[in-house]
Amino acid sequence: MGRLVGIWIKRVHRGPMDAADAAELVAGRGLRGDATQGGRRQVTIMSLDRWQALTSHLPGPPTPAIRRANLMVEGIDLDFSRERVLRIGDARVRIFGETRPCHQMDEACPGLQDALSPPWGGGAFGEVIEGGVIAVGSPVRWDDAAASVGQLFGAASGSELKLGPA
């Protein structure tokens, strides 16, 4: 099991990321008070373990806040997590895809965009499917009970799933 180690709220687009000790994830909306509300990219999540591995060679090394992700988790591998459900405290987030690093990364730290360019290096994004209050230190884990039947039986890998008699 992992844990939540950072929360940042972006009050306006392209604005600063404000650190918070606690926040509320709102189902169908995202992080309360964040400029990004609704849609499929309601919240962005970064792995501290991955961040440290990819940025240790950069000057500083840079602080994770410059990544501009909403949440930083530790002990959770976000690689190839598309369609999985991540439980953060009592809240749940369905991962829709990887967050690709943009030019803003290099504005914050030269070389950061390239450092985060490996697959899933920029973290993940998703929608809040069950809201709740979260806080730094909240437990984080994959909610495997929410996995689709297709994922459980291999349909996601391209094989046809057959239920019932042939």
- Annotate 122-163 with DSSP letters as a single string: T-EEEEEEE-EEEETT-EEEE-GGG--HHHHHTGGGTPPP--
CA atoms within 13 A on the CB side of 91: 27
Going by C-beta distance under 8 Å and a sequence separation of 6 or more, which residues neighbour residue 145?
none
Output Rg (C-alpha) for the chain, integer angstroms.
17
Is residue 113 within 8 A of residue 106, CB to CB? The reply is yes
Task: Return the DSSP state at 41.
Answer: -
pLDDT lower than 50: segments of the chain? 148-166
Distance, in Å, from the CA atom of 97 to the CA atom of 80, rounded to the nearest integer, reads 8
pLDDT at 46 (0 to 100): 95
Q: Domains in the chain, start-ordered, CATH in brackets? A: 2-157 (2.40.33.20)
Alpha carbon of residue 11 to chain centroid? 18
Alpha carbon of residue 98 to chain centroid? 8
pLDDT at 146 (0 to 100): 54
89-129 confidence digits (pLDDT tens): 999 999 999 999 888 888 888 898 898 999 999 999 999 99
pTM for the model stands at 0.82
